[in-house]
């Protein structure tokens, strides 16, 4: 099986999942609009948005579950680990591009519907985060920049999910349980408690400042976020390759 055939195999399930997700997210957007019209009145302002978060969760799960099945199937068809990794990464790029376009289309549908109801506002994640950047900007440019940012963000998120999936595959049962329990406990319990009791909250402040810098929020520069997402994608991709290149076949 060559790279082209491997890529087609990887994309086969992805296309079905993306189609199903697209239909669901569009239906949810329309239903939210109808419900908002039914429950709102002229004195209240309602906002429709947040669908980008659903896309991020969707593609994270897609990355998390992508390794095992593809690895087994392609290996059984004499595809090298390098070929499997390359086909998977190409699939992620394609899926992220498709999902970013879908997100923009859903946003356009929501904005179009909001024009029929003056007290309903539809804003994207991009417009809320980079409000100073988009002020007075042409709508077409806003949509193009949104599309670019969504694409690299989804690419970053799916690669993080994939890395976690590869690591889980390599671990034994005890390691999987330790990692699955340890990461949430560390970030939700241990780190906050230690930060408050020992560091007086400076760790949290430092993390927030770091995220603010690399994503250009205070600077109102989305291109910093684009570069940061690409760098994280490359790093997680490299780590995924180093983790999977000697991965054994498991049942």
Give mean pLDDT, residues 96-104.
90
Contacts of 142 (CB under 8 A, 6+ apart): 126, 127, 134
At residue 89, the pLDDT reads 94
Q: Percent of the chain at pLDDT above 70?
A: 91
Q: What is the pLDDT of residue 216?
A: 93
What band does 18 get if pLDDT is binned at 50, 70 and 90? confident
List all residues 6 or more positions away from 173 whose beta carbon is below 8 Å from its beta carbon.
none
Task: Give the span between the Cα atoms of 178 and 191, in whole angstroms.
Answer: 17
Average pLDDT over residues 221-227: 95
- Positive or negative, the CA dihedral 80, 82, 85, 86 is negative
User: What does the pLDDT read at residue 123?
Assistant: 76
Mean pLDDT of the chain: 86
Query: Which residues are bridge partners to 121 per DSSP?
Result: 47
Cβ neighbour number for residue 198 with a 10 Å cutoff: 9
Taking residues 191-216, report their average pLDDT. 92
pLDDT tier, 237 (very low <50, low <70, confident <90, very high otherwise): very high
DSSP string, the chain: --HHHHHHHHHHHHHHHHHHHHHHHHHHHHHHHHHHHHH--TT--EEE--HHHHHHHHHHHHHHTSHHHHHHHHHHTT--HHHHHHHHHHHHHHHHHHHHHHHHHHHHHHHHHHTT-TTEEE--HHHHHTHHHHTT--HHHHHHHHHHHHHHHHHHHHHHHHHHHHHHHHS-HHHHHHHHHHHHHIIIIIHHHHHHHTSTTHHHHHHHHHHHHHTTTTTT-HHHHHHHHHHHHHHHHHHHHHHHTTPPP--
- pLDDT per residue over 135-175, tens digit each? 878 888 888 999 999 999 999 999 999 999 999 999 888 98
Q: Which residues of 162-188 are buried (b: 16+ CB within 10 A; e: fewer)?
A: bbbbbbebbeeeeeeeeeeeeeeeeee
Instruction: Provide the pLDDT for residue 50.
Output: 64
For residue 231, pLDDT beyond 70 = yes
For residue 113, pLDDT over 80 is answered with: no
Q: Which of 16-25, 35-44, 95-104, 106-115 has the highest mean pLDDT?
A: 95-104
- Which CA distances in Å does 147 have to 82, 92, 110, 172, 222? 30, 16, 16, 40, 11
Higher pLDDT, 31 or 171: 171
Q: Name the pLDDT band for 118 (thresholds 50, 70, 90).
A: low
Residue 161 has a pLDDT of: 94
């Amino acid at each position: 099986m060559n790279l082209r055939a491997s890529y087609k195999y990887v994309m086969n399930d992805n296309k079905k999942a993306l189609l199903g997700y697209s239909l669901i997210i569009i239906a949810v957007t329309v239903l939210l609009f109808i419900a908002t019209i039914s429950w709102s009145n002229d004195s209240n302002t309602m906002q429709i948005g947040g669908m980008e978060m659903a896309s991020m969760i969707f593609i994270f799960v897609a990355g998390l579950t992508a390794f095992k099945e593809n690895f087994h199937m392609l290996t059984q068809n004499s595809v090298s680990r390098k070929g499997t990794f390359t086909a998977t990464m190409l699939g992620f790029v394609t899926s992220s591009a498709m999902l970013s376009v879908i997100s923009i289309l859903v946003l356009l549908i929501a904005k179009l519907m909001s024009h029929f109801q003056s007290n309903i506002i539809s804003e994207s994640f991009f417009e809320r985060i980079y409000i100073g950047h988009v002020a007075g900007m042409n709508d077409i440019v806003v949509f193009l920049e949104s599309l670019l940012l969504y694409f690299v963000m989804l690419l970053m998120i799916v690669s993080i999910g994939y890395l976690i999936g590869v690591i889980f595959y390599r671990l034994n049962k005890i390691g999987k349980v330790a990692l699955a329990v340890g990461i949430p406990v560390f970030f939700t319990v241990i780190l906050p408690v230690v930060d408050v009791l020992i560091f007086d909250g400076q760790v949290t402040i430092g993390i927030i400042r770091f995220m603010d810098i690399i994503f250009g929020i205070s600077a109102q520069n989305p291109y910093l976020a684009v570069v940061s997402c690409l760098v994280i994608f490359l790093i997680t991709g490299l780590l995924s390759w180093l983790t999977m290149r000697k991965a054994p076949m498991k049942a």
